[in-house]
Amino acid sequence: MPYFDAASSAPLHPVARQALLASLDEGWADPSRLYREGRRARLLLDAAREAAAEAVGCRPDELVFTSSGTRAVHTGMAGALAARRRVGGHLVVSAVEHSSVLHAAAGHEAAGGTTTQVAVDRAGRVDPDAYARELGEDTALACLQSANHEVGTAQPVAEIAQQCRAVGVPLLVDAAQSLGWGPVEGDWSLLTASAHKWGGPAGVGLLVVRKGVRFAPQGPADERESGRAAGFENLPAIVAAAAFFAAFSLTAEPSPPGL
Ligand SMILES: Cc1ncc(COP(=O)(O)O)c(C=O)c1O
């Protein structure tokens, strides 16, 4: 039977599978330890971060690995909203965001914040001017997907990022549905993605916070992943997720995720 739901989850790419098997043997140790096995794990983690950062078009120290795309969205939104609490509690999202964004917005409202959902046209596309009109003096954060998870509509991210910059509002781009096909254009502030959409294993997300963007991690402190993603890294899965990018950065045409 053919499989038609790669937007929900793509099959593991052969390159990712190979990297996963190899790093189960090589990458089991604690990357924060200084003995040989730990240093080997750290090398693998650093290389994975560099490959993922190159695919995103950011600095490696701007990118952390999370335990899912959903976790990356929740952590990114909570950290950005908290850091701008003094500016205000207004959040702008599109009406067609993934449930991870809409649920985080509902939580934000339950905690006393406000959310504006910007409507889309018949093709599921946000109008940049309509979106920009909702950005106010008390807007702490704006969120927009790069592409829709149900109908595939690509959103005008670069234009909206520019409008957000003009009024000093950080834009978080949920790039779960597009990063496997290429980097997100534009001057966005935060970006999230999910490895099982591009043929990596499930349970690996990316959270990118550009240098200079205010960010206050929420929840109990933890030393791993710059204090932004708590818990011991799933190194074999991270290596496998990044192997896809490492392999295809060598070719001009990226291969469709997992296919
Ligand atoms: C647009 C979008 N954002 C976020 C996510 C969440 O990613 P994950 O499945 O890794 O939690 C998904 C996955 O369905 C998605 O399609």
Which pLDDT belongs to residue 247? 83
| pLDDT for position 257 | 54
pTM of the model as a whole: 0.95
179-234 confidence digits (pLDDT tens): 999 999 999 999 999 999 999 999 999 999 999 999 999 999 999 999 999 999 99
Domain ranges of the chain: 14-247
Which residue has a Cα nearest atom 16 of ligand 1?
A: 149
- pLDDT band of 256, cuts 50, 70, 90: low
pLDDT at 229: 97
- Would the pLDDT of 170 be above 90? yes
Cβ–Cβ < 8 Å for 118, 94:
yes
Is a pLDDT exceeding 90 seen at residue 141? yes
Q: Which of 163, 169, 207 is nearest to 186 (CA)?
A: 163
State residue 246's pLDDT score: 83
User: Which two tokens mark 75?
Assistant: 């952590």
Whole-angstrom CA distances from 242 to 9, 55, 88, 96, 177 are 16, 9, 37, 28, 16
Residues 145-158 pLDDT 10s: 999 999 999 999 99
% residues pLDDT > 90 (the chain): 93
Q: Are 23 and 240 in contact (CB under 8 A)?
A: yes
Q: Could you tell me where the beta strands, DSSP code E, fall in 9-161? A: 63-66, 90-94, 114-118, 139-145
Average pLDDT of the residues of the chain: 95
Distance CA 122, CA 93 (A): 18
Q: How many CA atoms lie within 13 A of 243 on its CB side?
A: 24
Position 252 scores a pLDDT of 46
Region 131-154: mean pLDDT is: 98
In angstroms, the CA 118 to CA 164 distance is 14
For residue 40, the model assigns a pLDDT of: 97
pLDDT of residue 201: 97
Q: Helix 36-56 crosses helix 235-248 at what angle (to 10 degrees)?
A: 50
**From the alpha carbon of 100, which atom of ligand 1 is closest?**
4
Of all atoms in ligand 1, which is nearest to the CA of residue 203?
A: 10
Q: Which residue out of 70, 155, 157 has the highest number of ligand 1 atoms within 8 Å of its CB and is therefore the one to mutate?
A: 70
How far apart are the C-alpha atoms of 48 and 64, rounded to whole Å?
10
Quote the Cα angle for 11-14-17, to 5°.
Answer: 85
Q: Which residues line ligand 1 (CB under 6 A)?
A: 68-70, 73, 98, 100, 145, 149, 174, 176-177, 194, 196, 205
Compute φ and ψ for 157, nearest 5 degrees. Answer: -65, -45
The CATH number given to 14-247 is 3.40.640.10
- Tell me the CA distances in angstroms from 239 to 26, 60, 215, 216, 245, one per residue in order: 10, 14, 26, 27, 10
The type of residue at 1 is M
